[in-house]
Amino acid sequence: MNLHGLVARLADSYPFAKLAGKIREKRVDVLAPASASPAIAATIADLRSGAGLGKVNLIVVSSGREAEDLVAALQSLEPTAEVLEFASWETLPHERLSPSPETVGRRLRVIHRLHELSVLAEAKVSPDHPVFVVATIRAVLQPVPGNLRDFPPLLLEQGKDYFLPELTLKLVELAYKRVDMVTKRGEFAVRGGILDIFATTAEHAVRLEFFGDELEEIREFSVADQRSIASEEPIKSTVLYAAREVIITPLVASRAREMQHEFMNISTMLAKIAEGIPVDGMEALAPVLVEQLVPFTSFLPTDAGVVLLQPERSAARAHDLIATNQEFLHAAWEAATNGAEAPIDIAAGGFMQVGEFMSHLVGNQVFTVSPFASQDDTMVDLKLHEIPHFKVLDANPVEWITDQLGQNQVVVLATEG
């Protein structure tokens, strides 16, 4: 459903004129109901683009459900836009559990795309369409390895030559697991001149057939019965993103080797990492293994805008996340005082405070959209009304719409189907 006309109508309306007048300011606070957030975010992007301020916008929400709804809404409001969802881990940063390869692949796809856009921005080249990056507060508060931009995805193209033994070593480096039969994302299998791979971001696994070193054919197959899936057009290439966010570089392997005998409780994990073997839960050791952890916002182009939807809810969510993470760390140290071995200090990999996150946005434009008015008069009131709950209102929808029209309000009705 194409609702771009609504964005254009809002941008030209009188209540949005004050917002348009402040569109070049570093910080703008907007007063509007929560249900209007997607339309407002799209309109802010439209106004920024019209003012030549960049077409990349990071939109931060409080929960995964809100992120999914916002992605769907933005695709309707801006059909030509590129909408990227930066997912959060299913685990806490310090748990000895790895996020799923699918989650890691989706995150890396966003990071590498933002790196491409940053390179374009440095060359004064702007994309010809708006770009929205939707992320939860949980996702943006967790630091990520700063060297991820140095490991682009692996592109395999039909007709090109690849040395299969070397290719399998590259897949192991990207933390793909070698198995006898591929059944889930992040796995690969080799049988003669056939290589099966289930990419972390793919809908289906692919079967690569080689003639000598030449990649002769790529076709999708079902992991349920291992049969090929018919496609209308031949597949010319496939892109493989890593299955782990900690890439075992020589530096990472060296640090693991140095700590192997110092921390006996995780010596087995460190020994595997030292040998270049990815191991489940290795992300928990990122603060002491990788060279640098950086905020996700460091991957944004310098001219990107940041929109915080319902910041009060996000702040409350962040408080709960940080408290839970601290409890996890305290429990580890309390166990150490009772005779267990002291854990590695990995506090640097935990969630940032909201204030610290905001300090990293000094170079970006920041917009907040909140249903709560501030004490001062700097907030831009867009005069938008929340739709009432008619079950508790002594009126029916038709009467309410008629009343709104009588007050010269613009009413937009949209339904799918």
DSSP string, 223-282: TTT-PBPP-SS---EEEE--S-SS---HHHHHHHHHHTTT-GGGHHHHHHHHTT---TTG
- Global pTM value: 0.88
Reference 74, options 147, 1, 180; nearest CA is 1
Reference 85, options 144, 140, 134; nearest CA is 134
Which pLDDT tens digit goes with each residue over 212-228? 999 999 999 999 988 98
Q: Is the pLDDT at 275 greater than 70, yes or no?
A: yes
Q: Is the pLDDT at 96 greater than 90, yes or no?
A: no
Strands 365-370 and 27-31, bridge-based pairing: parallel
Please report the pLDDT score of residue 339 as a whole number. Answer: 47
Please report the pLDDT score of residue 348 as a whole number. Answer: 63
**End-to-end alpha-carbon separation of the chain, Å?**
9
Q: State how far the Cα of 340 lies from the Cα of 359, in Å rounded to an integer.
A: 38
Percent helix / strand / coil, the chain, rounded to 5: 40, 20, 45
Rg of the chain in Å (alpha carbons): 25
Reference 32, options 327, 399, 313, 371; nearest CA is 371
Please report the pLDDT score of residue 149 as a whole number. Answer: 87
- Average of per-residue pLDDT across 39-51: 94
Which residue did the predictor score with more confidence, 336 or 264? 264
Reference 4, options 111, 77, 94, 99; nearest CA is 77
